[in-house]
Amino acid sequence: MTNTPTATALPVAAAGEGPYSLAAGPDGALWTTLVHAGALARVTTAGEVTRYDTGAADCGPSVITAGPDGALWFTRARDHRIGRVTVSGELGAYDLPTPGSGPFGIAAGPDGALWYTALHADLIGRITPAGEVTEYPLPVRAAFASFITPGPDGALWFTLNRANAVGRITTDGRITVHPLPTPDAGPVGITAGGDGALWCAEIGVGRIARITTAGEVTEYPLPDPACRPHAITAGPDGRCWFTEWGTNRVGAITPDGRIEEHLLPAPGTEPHGLAFGPDGALYVALESGRLARLPLRS
């Protein structure tokens, strides 16, 4: 394990308000969801914070992503809506066709729309910047569709946490499911790596999995099987970076499976989402109300 003494922490919210997901915005700032406060925060690389309340404290803003229209889009998992915020802080929200669907993961697709997962409804949704929604049922039940990412093949890839699988959906709605080899792996975060494959975090067994676009899976055990890897993102250094929710660390994995780990600035922070900022540093959302900043080695 590699210690990172240069890691710093930026306060963004009260403890317990839950910075959860992170995205780099088109405005050169980081945007984070405050899942337990029904709010968003905009954070500059200098640590300046602007907070935007949705007006619905219990809406559960979860995953956030930069959209194709210059705004940020986010899921509202508890009131079952998709939210949108401009870089100047103007908020909007869209109702979804299926009641109680629990939208969670969201990503911009190659077709100019946003694609999201529905935790409770076994479907993948597509929403245009104008708010038009199309839903695609999954071929498996009680799957708990979680994170979603655009793949290198022009499709969207997503994790099926309780179905122990990774799914693929084309922009015209065709779905393929690829089972994972380890039982109860519990895939959560997923990202497209720089090597042309998909990488996902297996929270249930403490592994990182690599999935080719043909569905071939290789799993890499982490040093601590109980570390609970959660979110994962591709870095500018060619590695994929991930949070270890259960051990207060972030890790990095090379395309050939070599793993490096870094301690976060303070104990008990519960790291969740992560994203690279415009300054090239890695930012990590901490349940303790802060963002950690880790500069990459040059």
Q: Do 251 and 202 contact (CB within 8 A), yes or no? A: no
Q: Could you tell me which residues are annotated as the binding site for Mg(2+)?
A: 270, 287
- The DSSP bridge partners found for residue 82 are 75, 94
Task: Extract the tokens encoding 9.
Answer: 């922490």
How far is the C-alpha of 152 from the C-alpha of 193, rounded, in Å?
9
Q: Could you tell me which residues are annotated as the binding site for substrate?
A: 230
Please write down the HEC assignment for all residues of the chain: CECCCCCEEEECCCCCCCEEEEEECCCCCEEEEECCCCEEEEECCCCCEEEEECCCCCCCEEEEEECCCCCEEEEECCCCEEEEECCCCCEEEEECCCCCCCEEEEEECCCCCEEEEECCCCEEEEECCCCCEEEEECCCCCCCEEEEEECCCCCEEEEECCCCEEEEECCCCCEEEEECCCCCCCEEEEEECCCCCEEEEECCCCEEEEECCCCCEEEEECCCCCCCEEEEEECCCCCEEEEECCCCEEEEECCCCCEEEEECCCCCCCEEEEEECCCCCEEEEECCCEEEEECCCC
Catalytic positions, please?
Answer: 272
